[in-house]
Amino acid sequence: MLGGYGSAAWFKATGEEDGLRSFATGVQAQLHVRPRRSIDPWFGLGIGYRVFSFTAAGQPTSVHQAIELPRLSIGVDYRASYMFSVGPYVSADLALFMGEPRPGQPGQTQTTLASFVGAGLSGRFELFGTEPRPRPRVTGY
């Protein structure tokens, strides 16, 4: 399967105005082990774009952008119908933040590598799914 993904996370810190936000989007390919069965394990590999922002009381919001190289995921789908499935997943990626300001040296930048791990519930729609035909039954004489 070839498709797109998106994820978002909001974290609230102890202060009223403090907080972290992370958004990611991209494309990924998935290998489905049992694609037409009710339980379908899968593995995914993708590439994407991430925005990470931090807000502290009395400070301007700090926004950082990165490329996700690569994004690995694993999950299990439960097929609710022939066109829709849902199930848990776990993903991890390496994010390459480019052009980050160096601490104490605002005129210079550095490249930073970070990792993000997530888990959640995914839903999948098969736009070109076809309803399976019933299997012919073989009966004895």
Q: In the Cβ-directed half-sphere of 98, how many Cα atoms lie within 13 Å?
A: 5
Q: How far is Cα 64 from Cα 20, in angstroms, rounded to an integer?
A: 11
Is residue 135 domain-resident? no
Is residue 120 domain-resident? yes
Is residue 130 domain-resident? no
Is residue 136 domain-resident? no
Is residue 58 domain-resident? yes
Note the pTM of the prediction, 2 decimals: 0.74
pLDDT of 51: 92
Q: How far is Cα 18 from Cα 82, in angstroms, rounded to an integer?
A: 44
pLDDT of 19: 80
Is residue 9 domain-resident? yes
Q: In the Cβ-directed half-sphere of 26, how many Cα atoms lie within 13 Å?
A: 22
pLDDT of 52: 86
pLDDT of 102: 59
Rounded to the nearest 10°, the torsion over CA 30, 35, 39, 40 is: -20
- List average pLDDT for each run of 10 residues in the chain, which is 141 residues long: 88 72 94 90 96 80 87 94 92 87 64 89 80 68 61
Is residue 15 domain-resident? yes
Is residue 49 domain-resident? yes
Lookup: tokens for 2 = 């070839």
Q: Number of folded domains in the chain?
A: 1
Domain that holds residue 107: 2-125
Q: CA nearest 79: which of 46, 138, 34, 119?
A: 34
